[in-house]
Amino acid sequence: MTSPVRPSARRITALFATIALVLTATGCSGETGSGSATGAVTSITALDYYTDASEHAQWGERLTACGKTAGVTVEQRSVPGASLIPKVLQQASSRTLPDLLMLDNPDLEQIAQTGALTPLDQYGIDSSGLAKGILSAGTYQGKVYGLAPTVSTIALVYNKDMLAEAGVAVPRTWDELETAAAKLTRPGRYGMAVDANATFEGTWQFLPFLWSNGGDEKQLDTPQAAQALQLWVDLVKRGSMSKSVLNWTQADVHDQFVAGKAAMMINGPWRINALNETKNLHWGVAPIPVRQMGQTLVTPLGGETWTVPRGASKARQEKAAQVLACLNDSTNMLALAKQYFTVPSRTAVASRYAEQVPSMAAFVKSVESSRARTGELGVKWPKAATGIYTAIQAALTGGQTPEEALKHAQQIASGS
């Protein structure tokens, strides 16, 4: 899961207006590249934010292989995550979008809203067999614009030795979580660790507690939301969770866990490689606890979707769509999931994967009922996300009660 820094809302609004006017006037966008609108297409361009050398190379191999099946060479271009959306908005405005575009799933709707993307059904791409939340993440106004080969979410990661030593069972409910965290806490070690910082990452980590308890970003100042926030407040107040969670990133949470300074943490499968490489660390993964037995765990969906922007050349769009379909076939899904410790987007493939990679079973299970962050509010989601992490900060510092903090959060979300 990535949370790129987004440009300001005012800037986005202005760019949206410009882009919409340009697209309406011209009826197209895109690079001409190799192969004209009427000639044979021999190469296409792809844009992503895989700037890590290893990741860039690995995705490059996938794109090259899928390009070969489509009969084209794929020129991969990568920019830092924080730069992707500003670059895409600028390219859409100047009609220089790539042929194949990767987007973090919460960003898809705001780009689709500009008219810069094409619906995938026009290419006959198969989107069957996907979990509801995954399909929702690639959909805008009833049309599927993006597909993710694999996805991710978050779960409870725990130190097996510490739990065994304290005689603590893996918690399933909030009461059990509070009890376990208290028993696991001792000098130099906290029972629980989360990322509660003032970014979308903090919101991301809080969502399972909010959503699973019946809270909703459409109305943040509810008893259900307050109960979820009170849980985090209580963990800090009772000393089971460090006050430093207000500043920790997910990477910091991981570091605390592997250093033995936290017995349990909320984190994602992107940490598994590092966990496996840590000597003498015996860890397990379980679903995030819910307030009471019988509630359905709902976690946020992470992962990148691949899209086909509008372009001057229909032939180039068709080739890009063929590459996209290849990336999303079952064989590539499974291979990518094993390579990156992510979850295949097709339910049947994910089930086989969970059997083959047991450490991913809890993540696979959680993805079944996961939810796209933009599923309820669409392009208005960033305001709600800002309200949520603002409320977390206010409540955990003791500046406001959960109820007061969430009332302010709702004001932020509604723009009042």
Predicted confidence (pLDDT) per residue in 63-94, tens digit: 999 999 999 999 999 999 999 999 999 998 88
* Topology of domain 9-149+303-356, CATH: D-Maltodextrin-Binding Protein; domain 2 (3.40.190)
Token pair 């590539």: residue = 332
Token pair 């005012």: residue = 10
pLDDT of the residue at 18: 44
Model confidence pLDDT, tens digit, residues 211-247:
999 999 999 999 999 999 999 999 999 999 999 999 9
Considering only CA atoms, which of 289, 261, 253 is closest in space to residue 185? 261
pTM, two decimal places? 0.88
Residue 170: CB partners within 8 Å, gap ≥ 6? 156, 158, 163, 180, 284, 286
Considering only CA atoms, which of 234, 343, 270, 319 is closest in space to residue 41? 319
How far apart (Å, rounded) are the C-alpha atoms in residues 49 and 2?
A: 10
How far apart (Å, rounded) are the C-alpha atoms in residues 240 and 178?
A: 8
> CA 223 → CA 62, 213, 226, 229, 230, distances in Å?
47, 10, 5, 10, 10
- Lowest-pLDDT choice from 4-8, 45-49, 52-56, 174-178: 4-8
- Lowest-pLDDT choice from 21-35, 111-125, 350-364: 21-35
The count of residues in the chain is 416
pLDDT of the residue at 116: 94
Domain over 155-300+377-414 is classified CATH 3.40.190.10? yes
Q: Residue 30 — pLDDT band, cuts 50, 70, 90?
A: very low
Residue 12: CB partners within 8 Å, gap ≥ 6? 6, 89, 110
Structural contact between residues 370 and 392, judged by C-beta atoms closer than 8 angstroms: no
The three state secondary structure string of 125-180 is CCCCCECHHHHHHCEECCEECEECCEEECCEEEEEHHHHHHHCCCCCCEHHHHHHH
CA angle 80, 83, 84 (to 5 degrees): 90
Model confidence pLDDT, tens digit, residues 100-122:
999 999 999 989 999 999 999 99
> Residue 61, by phi and psi: left (phi above 0), alpha (psi -120 to 50) or beta?
alpha
pLDDT of the residue at 1: 41
Q: What is the DSSP string of 385-398?
A: HHHHHHHHHHHHTT
pLDDT of the residue at 27: 47
Strand-pair category, 262-267 with 190-193: parallel
Q: What are the residue ranges of CATH 3.40.190.10 in the chain?
A: 9-149+303-356, 155-300+377-414
Host H or E run for residue 318: helix 314-327
Q: Which two tokens stand for residue 79?
A: 């920019």
